[in-house]
């Protein structure tokens, strides 16, 4: 395992990385992000202030770092994530008795403007699926399955590419999804999705060569799909059916949640399906449901002027 590239491959940092990996069970991607954030900060502290370790830094240096990130035009959300990585490291040092005070204990995150993510309409999604039904061959069938998996399960892009053959149980009618922190959740499969799965598995079995037998979704070369390809598939097909600026797998996940809530699904049930750790994360999807409710109210209430 690689550690920070400057002067931080010390025992404290190694123990912190082990803590994130083994105890917190963070993904490789998340741990890599923590490493990079800490590396960036230490570089700033070393070059600008001569510090050789994060443990010695005070809040004024951290504040200067934050100001420098703002001046570089980095988004507040990204800055907050970087500071959160640093704060987690200090909490670890405090917990293990290596420092007495967390310099970020009273730090307040930068304000983030709320962005309303506009979901695809049900018509747009049905139009894309209808378009995909006309396509034949392995890639056409696979791309249709990708769209249907996103919309019928609400899974994340990384979760989709990580699906294994044993993740699907046709007998039970479920898909087992391995989410963040290796937490598994079971999502029911719609009959239409099971049909698409059967069709894909039939086409998959006809591939001349399969390099990765365990992975469910493959390229035509028989290797595991990569996330960028999945993004291109979604963006390409929805560009033919939608005028929305953002056309990504996450918007399909957003559409899944919004449409369920619009049809009266329980917020806690949607939370479990999405794999959210807290209800607050799921509540961001309720704005569309509320907008629809307000429109129904305005249209139906006798006191509202027509």
Catalytic residues: 156, 180, 250, 253, 276, 285
Residue found by looking up tokens 């061959």 in the block: 137
Are 273 and 154 a contacting pair, CB within 8 Å?
A: yes
**Other C-beta atoms lying within 10 Å of the C-beta of residue 267:** 15
Are 177 and 184 a contacting pair, CB within 8 Å?
A: yes
Are 222 and 207 a contacting pair, CB within 8 Å?
A: yes
Evaluated on CA atoms 175, 179, 185, 187, the torsion sign reads negative
């Amino acid at each position: 395992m690689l550690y920070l590239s400057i002067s931080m491959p010390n025992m404290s940092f190694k123990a912190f990385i082990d803590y994130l990996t083994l105890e917190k069970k963070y993904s490789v991607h998340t741990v890599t992000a923590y490493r990079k954030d800490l590396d960036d900060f230490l570089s700033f502290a070393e070059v600008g202030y001569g510090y050789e370790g994060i443990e010695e830094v005070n809040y004024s240096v951290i504040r200067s770092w934050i100001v420098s990130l703002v001046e570089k035009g980095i988004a507040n959300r990204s800055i907050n994530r970087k500071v959160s990585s640093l704060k987690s490291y200090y909490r670890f040092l405090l917990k293990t008795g290596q420092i007495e005070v967390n310099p970020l204990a009273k730090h307040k995150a930068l304000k983030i403007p709320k962005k309303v993510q506009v979901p695809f309409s049900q018509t747009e999604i049905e139009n894309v699926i209808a378009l995909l039904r006309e396509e034949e061959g392995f890639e056409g069938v696979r791309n249709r399955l990708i769209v249907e998996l996103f919309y019928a399960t609400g899974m994340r892009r990384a979760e989709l590419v990580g699906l294994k053959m044993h993740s699907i149980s046709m007998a039970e009618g479920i898909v087992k999804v391995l989410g963040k922190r290796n937490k598994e959740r079971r999502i029911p499969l719609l009959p239409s999705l099971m049909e698409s799965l059967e069709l894909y598995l039939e086409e998959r079995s006809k591939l001349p060569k399969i390099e990765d037998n365990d992975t469910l979704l493959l390229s035509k070369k028989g290797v595991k799909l990569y996330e960028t390809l999945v993004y291109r598939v979604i963006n390409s097909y929805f560009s033919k059916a939608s005028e929305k600026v953002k056309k990504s797998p996450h918007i399909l996940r957003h559409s899944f949640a919004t449409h369920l809530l619009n049809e009266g699904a329980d917020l806690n049930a949607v939370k479990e399906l999405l794999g959210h750790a807290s209800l607050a994360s799921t509540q961001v999807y309720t704005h569309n449901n509320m907008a629809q409710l307000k429109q129904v109210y305005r249209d139906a209430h006798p006191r509202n002027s027509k």
